[in-house]
Structure 1
């Protein structure tokens, strides 16, 4: 009877050792597969999910900034359009403005000014 109990104890010990060995092999296989997958990702120029999420967040932020800029530009264009008729009306009252004469805007010339 004692021999039989010892036999089962030995079998239990061998089975426990086998399970430990299998667990170690499983961890080794997992590490090896992970390394191979990382190499494949590097070769294919793929990005990780975290990197993609960061870039997507930056793109969303840029898109929001662009939309704000477009709204601001539209408001400035409206203000400019309101001011534009006043500028056109002032140039209509100055008959010399179109010819660059005194009273009008100065003209740019490549020739030196003539002495008086």
Structure 2
């Protein structure tokens, strides 16, 4: 037969409350740290992978167009008599 000791019952209740409090504190600390990291990353002007890939593609296209124009200009200059 199990007897109910008020001291033990109160102690168990207190430990359950403390466990819940510590779990809540852990969640709060994790969420707070996550928000601070987001703010820090935002202040550092990082770009997303999608933005980086889009700019990289634009640069490759511009480089290809520049090479094509250079080749075209070289051909035009080759066909033009030199001025002295």
Q: Same fold by TM-score, threshold 0.5 exceeded?
A: yes
| Structure 2 partner of 1:31 | 31
Residues 64-79 of structure 1: pairs in structure 2 closer than 5 A: 64-79=60-75
Q: Return 5+ residue gaps in structure 2 as ranges.
A: none
How many residues are treated as equivalent by the alignment? 79
- RMSD of Structure 2 on Structure 1 (CA): 3.4
Q: Return 5+ residue gaps in structure 1 as ranges.
A: 89-116
Residues 1-116 of structure 1: pairs in structure 2 closer than 5 A: 1-3=1-3, 6-7=4-5, 10=9, 11-38=11-38, 41=40, 45-48=43-46, 51-85=47-81
Residues in 2 aligned to 1:73 and 1:17: alpha-carbon distance in whole angstroms: 74
Residues in 2 aligned to 1:56 and 1:19: alpha-carbon distance in whole angstroms: 45
Residues in 2 aligned to 1:38 and 1:75: alpha-carbon distance in whole angstroms: 47
Question: Which of structures 1 and 2 has the bigger CA Rg?
Answer: 1
Residues in 2 aligned to 1:34 and 1:83: alpha-carbon distance in whole angstroms: 64
Q: CA deviation at 1:76?
A: 1.0
Q: CA deviation at 1:64?
A: 0.4
Task: Give the TM-score normalised by the residue count of structure 2.
Answer: 0.56
Task: Give the TM-score normalised by the residue count of structure 1.
Answer: 0.45
Deviation per CA, 1:8-65: give whole Å up to 9, x if none: x8355543332122111212223334444555x28x93134xx253443233123202
